[in-house]
A = this chain, B = another copy of it.
Amino acid sequence: MVEKTGRPAYLQIVDELRAQIRAGSLPPGTALPSIAQLCERFEVSASVVKSAISVLRTEGLVVGQQGKGVFVREAPASTVEPEPSGINAEILDQLTQMRASVKELGDRLAALESAVFPKPK
């Protein structure tokens, strides 16, 4: 699958995956093959696959979840506008991270609470 065209390998993988997403063979909500599997399929190193997934992430086509996988976004909505929603994408990204941080704080607080105030059950 190396396809020795002049096109960089990671962009070829981006094209491939983007096409599969658009064609519906990777419907929204489904997980992409794991990085290791993609490495094997395309016969490239992990860095190439990571670069490709990174592009798809900044394009908003997929979202990665640590420990689970990379999932096709539910609402692709306005397909890949390079610049128009740059700031909005930025804000959404930061909000995502903030939500994760707050959730993590909540979890830790809950753990502390159940340690300090034993469960009255």
Which residues of A, 62-121, contact B by the 8 Å Cβ criterion?
76-79, 81-88, 90-95, 97-99, 101-102, 104-106, 108-109, 112-113, 115-117
Number of copies: 2
Contacts of A59 in B (CB 8 A): 58, 82-83, 86
For A86, give its contact among B6, B18, B91, B101 (CB under 8 Å). B18
Most B C-beta atoms less than 10 A away, residue of A11, A86, A109, A113: A86
Q: A: which residues have CB within 8 A of B? A: 6-7, 11, 15, 18, 51, 54-55, 58-61, 76-79, 81-88, 90-95, 97-99, 101-102, 104-106, 108-109, 112-113, 115-117
Cα separation A98 to B105 with both chains bound (whole Å): 13
